[in-house]
Structure 1
Amino acid sequence: MVPTMNNQRLSLSLFFFLAGFNFASWTSRIPTIAGSLKLNEAELGSILLTMPISSLIGLPLSGWLVTKFDSRVPLTAAFLLNAVSLSFIGFADSSLLLIMALFLFSLSMRIFNIAVNTQAITLQKQFERKINGSFHGLWSLGGIVGVGVTTLLVSLKVSMVPHLLAVSVFSVLMTLITSRFLLRNDRSTTGNKLSFRKPDPAIVYMGLLVFFAAVCEGGMFDWSGIYFQQVIKEEVFTSGYLIFMSFMALSRFISDRIIDRIGMARTYILSALLIFSGITLAIVFPTFWPAMAGFSLVGFGTASVIPMTYTLAGRSTKYSPGVTLSIIVTYGIIGMLIGPPLIGYIAHAFNLRVSFILFAFAGIMLIPVSQMFFRLQKEA
């Protein structure tokens, strides 16, 4: 039986949700892991380098897989590995084992992300209205539920091992049930060969947009809990992460309407101003409610940047959607390679409040880069 468009959308939506849930289950446990392994900011930053390095290794593999197979094949296999490696993180009782678990987790997540976004871009073309933002909204919603579950379990003093193991088992079962409804026969037959002679300026600009968004988004994932624990002195340290994810989800569910109303160019500017304002508020007033308000602004501002840029990538006339995504996601991985660890090193040298200035800078850089991209499009 060939799945209908609505079944395909529902199945894909579930995978976006589960991916966000799993990722938040890991990141919201970072303070727990740092405490149990007695890691300082610099040591934690160094361990977090494992994820972007692993992602870079996985990029050429993921790009090759989506050109050789229907995207549902690497999507399903990668998510099964991602779910299993999440439980390995829970069992890691040394820095070495944690690095190994994070390597597998990040490698599988990279392959999954390319495959699932290739599916989303292809499915988007079959719908008259924009739906890509809602997929990413479901990722954020999954993150909210993941953080909420973690917050509840932390308050109930449930340890990390049964928590992550239960999430892993649930994800495996849902993958086996849902994967048969994914989009089929979406492998591109053209635009699969990379050219290194002359970089496409449009793709470079899109890559830079993803780079700066990744610095903000990835850094907030990794450090928002630590910020609330060490700077805000909040015992339930997931509060900041939860408000960030909540407003990110809200923004992604309404981003398609915002884009239709004011256009992509102005939406990038709005996103940049919200990120800069939110980070500044949290730095200048390091108390609970101002920080909560600041993190909510950052979440709302960051949310639409990557879905918008992925939608633009799907319009590329030079490469297939899977290959274009592989290129611009490379920039995002470099952002995650530089951003979160750099926050740890700056925090160790000065303090965590000073290190968060990096997010404000990355956010405001979205304005000039996006304007250069749309100026190039207009000239073309």
Structure 2
Amino acid sequence: MQERSLQRISLSTYFLLSGICFSSWASRIPTIKDNFNFSEEQLGNMLMILPASAVIGIPLSGWLVSKYDSRIPQQFAYVFFAISLLLIGFATSLPLLIFALFLFAVSLRILNISINTQSISLQEKFEKRIVGAFHGLWSIGGVVGVLFTTLMLQLNISIQVHFLIVAVFTLLTIFVAYPYLIKNDKAKGGNKFKLEKPNKYIMLLGFMVFLAAICEGGMYDWNGVYFKDVVKEEVFTYGYLLFMVCMSIYRLTIDSLIDYFGMKKLYFLSSFLIMTGVSIAILIPEFWPALIGFCLVGIGVSGLFPMTFILAGKAKKYSTGIVISIIGTYSTVGMFLGPPLIGYLAAYFGLQKAFIVFIIGGFLFIPLTLSVFNHLKKHLE
């Protein structure tokens, strides 16, 4: 088998595992909410720990991917990611939960920068687009994770045993896959970030992932709670499951769709689907309408991150790792504002009205898309 094929399989494994671990955590949020008797506002405070902690990983992740081959920080981050998931499951006190979430967030920040840097580097070895497929595998991992969570809930398996299985599986798999990751991908130039006037193109991409993080991250964290508390569905993972299935299907085809329709049209489609899907879930909070609504949102948000990371590869001011780290900072801020904001709004206005934030986020992609592609047009002419 060709070296690049082995590298692609290995990196695909990491994307898949990241999706499994993250969805295992996200789909168990209602369990953690009940275990600690959190109100919506208290849950919002807890969720703020993740993005607030990830801020620490902003300079660290950028420095690591610029100083070392991306596979090195990636491997260490995955080890701590699995350990943190295990700690979340076994947390019996608030301080331990806070520490576990802190470790989870910092590890997630570093591994996200690392695997996306690897994906852009590996793309250079292929003529056909492959970046979207990696994100599709992340979503498939999300589906696997939520399916496994659903099984654990139906079998009445504790969160401790559930997260132990996921953590052990992750640790064993990454040590098998590590030797085949792409090596020597540290950029020779553009590794030093300078404090100066922000680059307009990078800033626009940053705002895009900022909105994507609010919409996608907020849906991860509040989807299950919405189905449990608003739709009144006992098996609260159904909405999350269909949301992830739709994301997976769309992301696996995003590379071909980009070639056929172009990114600009797909950004507009994402905006429309997010606004439409959330509106349906808000206006008709019944099982099937809400399920359809979340499916539309899943399709809408799925292309935002892979398309924006592809556009990040066109930036020439810094190395790929640094650019991804910079726009990833905007993503962290989006995660900082999104889920906690939903929690605070839900405490005062109800969860249905709080979801209007996603509609606003979806709408703002229209002017941002126009700005990004106008900028590209001017600099390519």
- Output the CA distance in 1 between the equivalents of 2:192 and 2:109: 20
Give the conservation status (yes or no) of the 8 Å contact 1:87–1:161.
yes
1:145 lines up with 2:144 in the alignment: yes
Distance in 2 (alpha carbons) for counterparts of 1:44 and 1:181? 40
Question: Is the CA contact (8 Å cut-off) linking 1:148 and 1:242 kept in structure 2?
Answer: yes
Counterpart for residue 25 of structure 1: 24
**Could you tell me the TM-score, scaled by structure 1's length?**
0.99
Aligned match of 1:189: 188
What aligned pairs does 1:220-259 form with structure 2 within 5 A after superposition? 220-259=219-258
Residue type of the alignment partner of 1:151: T
Q: Distance in 1 between matches of 2:18 and 2:210?
A: 21
For residues 119 and 152 of structure 1, the distance between their equivalents in structure 2, rounded to whole angstroms, comes to: 33
**Partners of 1:298 and 1:94 in 2: CA distance:** 35
Residue number in structure 2 paired with 1:92: 91
Cα deviation 1:47-87 (Å, max 9, x = unaligned)? 11111011111011011011111111000111011011110
Stretches of 4+ aligned residues off by more than 2 angstroms: none
Corresponding position of 1:209: 208
Q: 1:6 and 2:13 equivalent?
A: no
Is the Cα contact below 8 Å between 1:3 and 1:183 reproduced in 2? no
3-state SS of the aligned residue for 2:189? coil
Q: Which residue of 2 aligns with 1:361?
A: 360
Structure 1 residue 3 displacement after superposition = 7.4
CA pair 3-258 structure 1, distance change in 2 beyond 3 A = closer
Contact 1:114 1:325 in 2 (8 A): yes
Tell me how far 1:195 sits from its aligned partner.
2.6
Which residue number in structure 2 is paired with residue 78 of structure 1? 77
Structure-1 separation of matches of 2:133 and 2:50: 26
- Structure 1 contact 3–181 (Cα < 8 Å) conserved: no
**1:133 is matched with which residue?**
132
Task: Please say if residues 346 and 352 of structure 1, whose CA atoms lie closer than 8 Å, have aligned partners that are also in contact.
Answer: yes
Q: Aligned partners of 1:191 and 1:262: how far apart in 2?
A: 32
Q: Structure 1 85/3 Cα, relative in aligned 2: closer, same or farther at 3 Å?
A: farther
Mapped partners of 1:359, 1:99: distance in 2 = 27
Secondary structure of 2:156 counterpart: coil
How far off its partner does 1:125 sit?
1.2
1:165-314 matches, within 5 Å, as 165-314=164-313
- Distance in structure 1 (CA, Å) of the matches to 2:194 and 2:375: 20
Equivalent residue, structure 1, for 2:327: 328
For the residue of structure 2 that corresponds to 1:49, the secondary structure is helix
Counterparts of 1:35-114 in structure 2 under 5 Å? 35-114=34-113
TM-fit CA distance, 1:370 = 1.1
Quote the Cα distance in structure 2 between the aligned partners of 1:340 and 1:150. Answer: 21
Fraction of identical pairs, as percent: 50
Amino acid paired to 1:311: I
Match of 1:365, SS?
helix
- Matching residue's letter, 1:15: Y
Q: Give the residue type in structure 1 aligned to 2:98.
A: I
Output the TM-score relative to the length of structure 2.
0.98
Which position in structure 2 is the counterpart of 1:119?
A: 118
CA contact (8 A) 1:89 1:98 kept: yes
How far is the alpha carbon of 1:196 from its aligned partner? 2.3
The amino acid across from 1:133 in the alignment is G
Q: The residue matched to 1:346 in structure 2 has which SS?
A: helix
Amino acid at match of 2:133: S
Give the total of aligned pairs: 379
Q: Distance in 1 between matches of 2:203 and 2:66?
A: 21
Distance in 2 of aligned mates of 1:42 and 1:94: 18
- Partner amino acid for 1:324? V
Alignment deviations for residues 294-347 of structure 1 (CA, whole Å, 9 cap, x no partner): 000000010011100001111211010000001101111100100100000000
Deviations along 1:85-122, whole A, 9 cap, x unmatched?
11000011122211110100110111111011000000
Gapped regions of structure 1 (runs ≥ 5) = none
Tell me the CA shift for residue 6 of structure 1. 0.2
State the secondary structure of the residue aligned to 2:56.
Answer: helix
Query: Which stretch shows the higher mean deviation, 189-198 or 152-161?
Result: 189-198
Show structure 2 runs of 5+ residues with no match: none
SS at the partner of 2:9? Answer: helix
1:43 partner letter: Q
Given that 1:3 and 1:182 are in contact with CA atoms closer than 8 Å, whether structure 2 keeps it comes out as no
Correspondence for 1:344: 343
- How many angstroms apart in 1 are the aligned matches of 2:309 and 2:214? 17
- What is the rounded CA distance, in whole Å, between the counterparts of 2:217 and 2:127 in structure 1? 32
- The whole-number CA distance in structure 1 between the counterparts of 2:94 and 2:294 is 30
d(CA) in 1 for partners of 2:37, 2:198: 45
Which residue in the other structure is 1:158 paired with? 157
Deviations 1:230-267 (A, max 9, x none): 00000000011001111011110011111111111111
- Cα offset for 1:166? 1.0
2:46 maps to a residue whose letter is: I
- How far off is 1:144 after superposition? 0.3
